[in-house]
Structure 1
């Protein structure tokens, strides 16, 4: 009987029979290689229902979302990036020895996203320049004006897409101060001052004091009625750059608007004494 069992096991090995889960994982990987991300995703989700702690499937899921991020419309891009990063984090949780390899993947992804952001930003500038030139040349032609308005919407969207690439770069490497700065400036060029506030604050958090960023962010806070956010920022800014008269003025204004007249007088007296 033991010989018979051994013989059966050898036959299975020769025939290359593998557990169903491994066969399904292979099918999912092949589907991803063919570019069929929907099939690969469906198979991956089925496997995770059966075995939610399978690090190989989570790794596959991360690669699926990475592939979808590169081919999906921009309004779905960040969703796939977030899903990819969550899946990679799950791999690290289940298999800590993978952390170094996944860290390298995140560095590469962050760099690629950053470069895409630069390309999109530069393209938006080119479209904006052409649009403004066209508007000045054909100001009195109604049809041309409508075309120019359409182009305006186009370059604004390119700036927004650029911002998404820079945001993705920060999602992969959260301490990347330069990506936060570019994300903020892309949104500023798109006309979204309030949206630019968050990445500016992050840039200061990770990159340290920056006179220009303090000035820009303070003005956004003050013009949007966000004195509660402006005050701690400006107190920090004035401490870092005590010679900057604009920052001093912003701080006095923030004190006055928020009803802290005593603090405003105190700061004014300090400025005069200095």
Structure 2
């Protein structure tokens, strides 16, 4: 047996990098029996066949984390990419993704791409909101090379999931950061003003300056139903300083009196848009909880 990392999975085949080679592997049937699915990024033990090209996955080693969408394990950080324009930023979708990544306790960086086509510089207000919430925000343009070195520094020697909606320029951005990646890029659909999918599968790609990056398929919606409503507040960073000062220990920051989070909202310290999106997600999770009962 040898140990390696799953770098790609297509149609039931898993490509495992081990001992400076790539093995095309199938997972043993025992994983199906216990409902265990191999994920990109999994550290696995394989038994190579005599041809030293194919093999079988016989063990999946313990994971340090797991994202369901994009489906990937053992990640150090997430860089969440949205466009300043074309398509317009969907902040509800951004906040949902932040919740999912916060739940996995990953380092997070927000990237606002295509700033060269935002003539009104509306992205500056978005950048300010998320920086005040406690996130690192990098603004980028592949046209002017703005922010390219900053993204390169973030990627160096780390395993990073590079995710965001279709059409925001993830593949183009990665190609600019590391031309050796040679990722396929696409255009915006003029009919629906959304990106056309260019990344068809999740793949762990070696970054020239060290580390790995995953350019993931775009997404348009994210389900959070596995998160308990009372846990949601843990994943809104700007609430953390004030939660302990609420009158009620189980404060949802929605209905209760003497809520410090709502007080800071009234004072303008917590962003109203972020808070409204928190309420929307909270009520959605409560409804899902009631349906399960």
TM-score category, normalised to shorter length: under 0.3
**TM-score (normalised: structure 1):** 0.22
Which has the larger Rg? 1
**TM-score (normalised: structure 2):** 0.21
Higher helix share: 1
Q: RCO (CA 8 Å, sep 6+): is it higher in 1 or 2? A: 2
Higher strand share: 2
